[in-house]
């Protein structure tokens, strides 16, 4: 039976398992082995990369642990009431091999969390609220690192900044200065008050999220269409229509390097550890380069048509790609292999976003719905209905709240320029 348990980390959904040790030649046998611990290299954790917890690494067939329901990959939270989420491997083993016939464990695993989420998040439990943001279509939405602000970029040449208070977005100001469409924007991952915009006017602008003032303007060599900020906050990469990527030093806000690619470049991003640079291509591939020297390491062939978008999950275990073949591929980052495909959309996949807990993946296209799927099982959780194609989606960094924007028109066939939030309870949701 599943229940919640408080650990040093947080409140976690867990299962209680009672292992009755076998007795062989006077010795007590558990029937399983463990790995991990805060004294081990968490980046090599095969179950949840960068998680320093204690995990079940092996279960003996027909042994006491298997009979009790323990599984390989289970994360052990407690042993006989003792919290082991911040234990060394030796400390955890000491608790397990004590001269006691019965060991009571509390463990968690993805399937527990996924089942709980599917039960709690039926489509009818949530609605969408609209917020006026621009006078033309919205190309990009993004949350800052603490989730207190949302920025949007538009064809109307501006960016808008909203503040979030519970379930209400309040528009604070419009950032003006670009002379062409703002095609994409991104927040500084190390500073919640700074974001950057990429525009077709051949500039990148950096903005103060508190005042809406432009603090830096960087001239580039072409019409910019994509932008990303490195996880360590030290660089911005911006790509233009000629497949040239410019790397900007965020200390000086001046270009430090230019890289001309020989393939059509659609979207660019760093991995979470800042040592690899990824780009999606018109060949349907994902090209992976070492960083900062930008040497091609591998080219992943996962799609039969133009590979349009890419997004990394916060846990560092997966990344996802979307393509003109209407397929979303989920990739294992450590093995660089595709482990799952999502094929519920019929049109080219334009945008992707992982939820903060890594359990959900939102994907959207010209289909009149946003698909929200369970990452670990591939099951459909729900569909967010839309009246028009969706350009951009972004999960909140702390809550199950999805921001997005569509190609909506008013009764005079003019762009509405709205930003929408999905995930609000029925009681607090209404159009405005």
Does the structure show a pLDDT above 70 at 81? yes
Do 52 and 150 fall within a single domain? no
Give the per-residue pLDDT at 59. 96
Rounded CA-CA distance 188/142 in Å is 11
Residue ranges of E strands in 261-379: 265-270, 276-281, 285-290, 296-301, 307-312, 318-323, 328-332, 337-342, 351-354, 360-364, 369-374
Mean pLDDT over each residue of the chain, to the nearest integer: 90
Question: What confidence score (pLDDT) does residue 308 get?
Answer: 97
Residues 157 and 55 in one domain: no
Same domain as 134, residue 17? no
* Mean pLDDT calculated for residue range 319-324: 98
Residue 310, domain member (yes or no): yes
**Of 66, 82, 108, which residue is a domain's last?**
108
Which one-letter DSSP state was computed for residue 118?
A: H
- Evaluate whether residue 32 is within a structural domain: yes
Distance (Å, rounded) from C-alpha 169 to C-alpha 133?
10
13 located within any domain: yes
pLDDT, tens digit, for every residue of 225-247? 999 999 999 999 999 999 999 99
Between 123-132, 186-195, 252-261, the lowest mean confidence (pLDDT) is in: 123-132
Over residues 97-122, mean pLDDT: 75
For residues 419 and 299, state if they share a domain.
yes
Supply the pTM of this predicted model: 0.75
pLDDT at 39: 94
The closest of 109, 2, 98 to 53, measured between CA atoms, is 109
Q: Which of 108, 131, 164 is the last residue of a domain?
A: 108
Q: Is 115 within the bounds of a domain?
A: no
For 57-83, what is the mean pLDDT? 94
Q: What is the 3-state secondary structure (H, E, C) of 7-62?
A: CCCCEEEEEEEEEECEEECCEEECCEEEEECCCCCHHHCCCCCCCCCEEEEEECCC
Cα–Cα distance measured from residue 50 to residue 43, given in angstroms and rounded to the nearest whole number: 4
What per-residue confidence (pLDDT) applies to 48?
Answer: 77
Report the first-to-last Cα separation within the chain, whole angstroms. 43
Q: Is residue 66 in some structural domain?
A: yes
CA 72 and chain centroid, separation: 25
What's the confidence (pLDDT) of residue 147?
A: 95
Most confident of 43-52, 76-85, 214-223, 368-377: 214-223
Average pLDDT over residues 370-378: 87
What's the confidence (pLDDT) of residue 325? Answer: 97
On the question of pLDDT at 116 being above 60, the answer is no
* Cβ neighbours of residue 412 closer than 8 Å, sequence gap 6 or more: none
**Domain hosting residue 89, numbered range:** 2-108
Greater model confidence, 131 or 411: 131
What does the pLDDT read at residue 430? 35
The answer to whether residue 114 sits within a structural domain is no
Q: Which of 83, 108, 133 is the last residue of a domain?
A: 108
What is the structure's pLDDT at 429? 35
For the chain, what percent of residues have pLDDT higher than 70?
Answer: 91
CA distance 274 to 294: 12
Least confident of 60-64, 134-138, 293-297, 412-416: 412-416
- Is 369 inside a domain boundary? yes
Q: How confident is the model at residue 10 (pLDDT cuts 50, 70, 90)?
A: very low
Residue 86 counted as domain residue: yes
Total domains in the fold of the chain = 2
Beta-sheet pairing, 369-374 with 380-385: antiparallel
Same structural domain, 265 and 384: yes
* 114 pLDDT tier (thresholds 50, 70, 90): low
């Amino acid at each position: 039976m599943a229940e919640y348990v408080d650990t040093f980390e947080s409140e976690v959904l867990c299962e209680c398992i009672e292992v009755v040790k076998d007795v062989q030649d006077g010795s007590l046998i558990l029937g399983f082995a463990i790995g991990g611990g805060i004294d081990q290299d968490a980046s090599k954790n095969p179950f949840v990369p960068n998680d320093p917890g204690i995990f079940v690494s092996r279960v003996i067939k027909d042994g006491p642990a298997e009979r009790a329901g323990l599984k390989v990959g289970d994360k052990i939270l407690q042993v006989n009431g003792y919290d082991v989420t911040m234990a060394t491997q030796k400390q955890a083993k000491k608790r397990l091999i004590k001269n006691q016939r019965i060991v009571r464990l509390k463990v968690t695993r993805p399937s527990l969390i996924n089942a709980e989420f599917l039960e709690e998040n039926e489509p009818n439990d949530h609605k969408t609220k609209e917020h006026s943001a621009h006078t033309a279509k919205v190309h990009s939405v993004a949350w800052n690192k603490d989730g207190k602000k949302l920025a949007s970029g538009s064809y109307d040449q501006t960016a808008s900044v909203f503040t979030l208070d519970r379930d209400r977005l309040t528009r604070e100001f419009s950032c003006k200065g670009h002379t062409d469409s703002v095609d994409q924007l991104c927040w500084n991952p190390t500073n919640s008050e700074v974001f950057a915009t990429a525009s077709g006017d051949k500039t990148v602008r950096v903005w103060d999220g508190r005042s809406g003032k432009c603090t830096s303007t960087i001239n580039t060599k072409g019409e910019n269409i994509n932008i990303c900020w490195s996880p360590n906050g030290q660089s911005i990469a911006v790509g233009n229509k000629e497949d040239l990527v410019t790397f900007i030093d965020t200390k000086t806000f001046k270009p430090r390097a230019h890289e001309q690619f020989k393939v059509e470049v659609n979207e660019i991003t760093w991995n979470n550890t800042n040592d690899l640079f990824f780009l999606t291509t018109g060949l349907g591939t994902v090209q992976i380069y070492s960083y900062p020297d930008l040497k091609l390491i591998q080219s992943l062939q996962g799609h039969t048509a133009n590979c349009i978008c890419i997004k990394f999950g916060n846990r560092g275990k997966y990344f996802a790609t979307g393509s003109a073949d209407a397929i979303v591929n989920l990739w294992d980052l450590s093995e660089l292999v595709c482990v799952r495909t999502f094929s519920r959309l019929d049109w080219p996949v334009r945008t992707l976003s992982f939820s903060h807990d890594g359990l959900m993946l939102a994907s959207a296209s010209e289909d009149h719905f946003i698909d929200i799927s369970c990452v670990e099982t591939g099951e459909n959780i729900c569909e967010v209905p839309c009246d028009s194609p969706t350009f951009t989606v972004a999960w909140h960094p702390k809550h199950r709240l999805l921001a997005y924007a569509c190609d909506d028109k008013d009764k005079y066939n003019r762009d509405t320029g709205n930003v929408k939030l999905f995930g609000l309870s029925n009681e607090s949701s209404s159009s405005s």
